[in-house]
Structure 1
């Protein structure tokens, strides 16, 4: 399976590179220079990898609950101190803050449908996983109902398949989303209140009973971005109800 996936990905990548040579060069979303195939030039990609490595080596500068970078706080950020949204998660590691040109990068991947970014993002997630959570299986956060029908793809599924096919990471696709209610449609009070969060989101996910027969010791949720952490939290709660003792999360960005 891994060899077949790598072969198919190589064919798609080669076709993409060939097409990129025929089209006008893209502009790097970070520095504005020309860039072939990806909207991030080689130099800026290397800078992203270098900054990620520094972040992985300095986890003490992150909030122990939500994983956001601490400014003047110690251990727990101010927002997490004022909210009890995150309780079941044992740790979250966002790769980058959702600021400046990184907003454009996520937009190109999610909204503009640029699948060539999936292997690149997978390589970044892999760097964090192999250092922070080696050997622990990944559980992708599922898409909202109808997303694949409307958009033709699920970016988190693409990311998971890249991590599984390219790096051999164990991936369990066990969660299913039943409701389409989104965090951005909740009021701030609903987002920050654990009681309201449970009411709004608990019916939104389903964990198959077959998974409860032999759950792993730990799991790592994978999603594109963390805002309040409510979605990741309810997923972690379901996984722990299934018998998983420790649940972590890796996201590409944090708001």
Structure 2
């Protein structure tokens, strides 16, 4: 009997031949086996000019690191955002995160793979949901992105304390909301790449990075789908 991965590949190929991809943005025909048409692909806000430590957009004449990260280096060694959190990406991510639109998430992972970080990938570590939130939502959006990207993943980072949604808090409240929220199970790799869907203030990624460093990780980078500018 063929292994599950082979069966999945065959099934996906059959589905693509019977049901051609439809653009997730305008419902026109997709191109290149992606659920995105050529016209909508031209509207994507690709992000390639961000600070190397926090991924915020930089002025044209700036160095690789913004003045904020120079004055107060974050716990991330490097940070990369494939896209900016603007239309149509913002709408797709809202559908994926809050409306169980897994097809939108699949497209987001494909777009991340088209604009990967400029540095080698260590094992991917998805920013985890608390078990109670996972039961409520039914899936972990960051873990799905990491899985769909297809690189090796490490699953030892856990959210051990349920926290209120970050989207409902300002920057200062976001930082304190995550105190003691994460823990580690098992031996930590020497280097990892945190993966998340959206980076706003960076509080969640920073809390994860600090937890991993306390557990012995030497290098923590982050790769997000979209950065809020």
TM-score by length of 1: 0.72
Post-superposition offset of 1:136: 1.0
The yes-or-no answer on 1:226 pairing with 2:199 is yes
Post-superposition offset of 1:188: 3.7
Post-superposition offset of 1:100: 2.0
For the 8 Å contact 1:176–1:206, the answer to whether it is kept is yes
What is the alpha-carbon distance in structure 1 between the residues aligned to residue 62 and residue 70 of structure 2? 14
2:130 is matched with 144
Post-superposition offset of 1:9: 5.7
For the 8 Å contact 2:93–2:105, the answer to whether it is kept is no
1:11 is matched with 11
What is the alpha-carbon distance in structure 2 between the residues aligned to residue 203 and residue 6 of structure 1? 42
2:110 is matched with 123
Q: How does 1:7-46 map to 2 (within 5 A)?
A: 7-8=7-8, 11=11, 14-15=14-15, 18=18, 29=25, 32=26, 34-35=28-29, 40-45=36-41
What is the alpha-carbon distance in structure 2 between the residues aligned to residue 203 and residue 13 of structure 1? 45
Post-superposition offset of 1:73: 6.9
Which of 172, 179, 203 is matched with 1:202 structurally?
179
**SS of match in other structure, 1:249:** strand
What is the alpha-carbon distance in structure 1 between the residues aligned to residue 84 and residue 181 of structure 2? 27
Which of 56, 75, 80 is matched with 1:68 structurally?
56
1:186 is matched with 169
Q: How many residues align?
A: 222
For the 8 Å contact 1:67–1:93, the answer to whether it is kept is yes
Structure 1: state its 5+ residue gaps. 56-60, 192-196
The yes-or-no answer on 1:173 pairing with 2:169 is no
For the 8 Å contact 1:223–1:251, the answer to whether it is kept is yes
For the 8 Å contact 1:39–1:105, the answer to whether it is kept is no
**SS of match in other structure, 1:65:** coil
**SS of match in other structure, 1:35:** coil
1:162 is matched with 148
For the 8 Å contact 1:179–1:203, the answer to whether it is kept is no
Post-superposition offset of 1:183: 2.0
Post-superposition offset of 1:158: 1.8
Please state which structure has a larger fraction of its residues in helix.
1
- Alpha-carbon deviations, 1:23-50, whole Å to 9, x = none? xx96653xx472359663145347759x
Post-superposition offset of 1:220: 0.3
Structure 2: state its 5+ residue gaps. none
Runs of 4+ aligned residues of structure 1 deviating over 6 Å after TM superposition are none
CA change 1:73–1:63 in 2 (3 A) is farther
Q: Identify which range, 94-103 or 68-77, moves more after superposition.
A: 68-77
What is the alpha-carbon distance in structure 2 between the residues aligned to residue 146 and residue 45 of structure 1? 36
Post-superposition offset of 1:252: 0.5
